[in-house]
C-alpha cells in the first residue's frame, strides 16, 4: 500500500472532504492525489507552469511532459475538481504514480 492507496481509502471513507482537499491539496495528506504534475509537485517549476490533473484534463494547462498531458486528457476524471467522485480516485492515483515514475524519479 502506498500513499496514494491511503489517500484513496481516506477519501472513500470521507467523500464529503474531496472538494476541500482538491482545492487545498497541500493541507492534507490525501491531497497527493491532486498534486500539480511537475517534478516538484508545484504549479510553477523551472519557469514553467503545470496544472493538476483536473486542470490538465480541462485543457487549460499542461503536465510537465506531452506524454503525461496526453495520458491525463484521456483519463476518466472530471475537468472540474469539484465534480470528483470516489469512483475517480483510483485514476487520480494512477496519474500521480505515472508522474512519480516519469517526471519525479520516485519509481
CA 87, 35, 72 angle in degrees (round to 5)?
Answer: 60
* CB-based burial label for 45 (10 Å; 0-12, 13-18, 19+): middle
**Bridge partners (DSSP) listed for residue 49:** 44
Q: Which of 9, 12, 36 is nearest to 24 (CA)?
A: 36
Supply the pLDDT for residue 47. 81
- Could you tell me the pTM of the whole model? 0.94
Spatial separation of the C-alpha atoms in residues 94 and 63, rounded to whole Å: 14
Cell for 40?
Answer: 516538484
> DSSP state, 55?
H
Q: What is the pLDDT of residues 32-86, one digit of tens each?
A: 999 999 999 999 887 889 999 999 999 999 999 999 999 999 999 999 999 999 9
Amino acid at each position: 500500500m502506498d500513499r496514494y492507496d491511503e489517500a484513496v481509502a481516506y477519501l472513500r471513507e470521507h467523500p464529503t472532504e474531496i472538494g476541500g482537499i482538491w482545492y487545498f491539496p497541500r493541507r492534507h495528506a490525501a491531497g497527493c492525489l491532486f498534486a500539480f504534475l511537475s517534478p516538484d509537485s508545484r504549479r510553477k517549476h523551472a519557469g514553467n507552469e503545470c496544472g493538476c490533473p483536473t486542470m490538465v484534463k480541462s485543457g487549460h494547462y499542461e503536465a510537465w511532459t506531452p506524454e503525461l498531458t496526453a495520458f491525463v486528457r484521456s483519463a476518466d476524471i472530471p475537468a472540474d475538481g469539484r465534480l470528483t467522485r470516489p469512483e475517480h480516485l483510483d485514476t487520480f492515483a494512477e496519474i500521480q504514480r505515472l508522474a512519480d515514475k516519469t517526471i519525479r524519479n520516485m519509481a
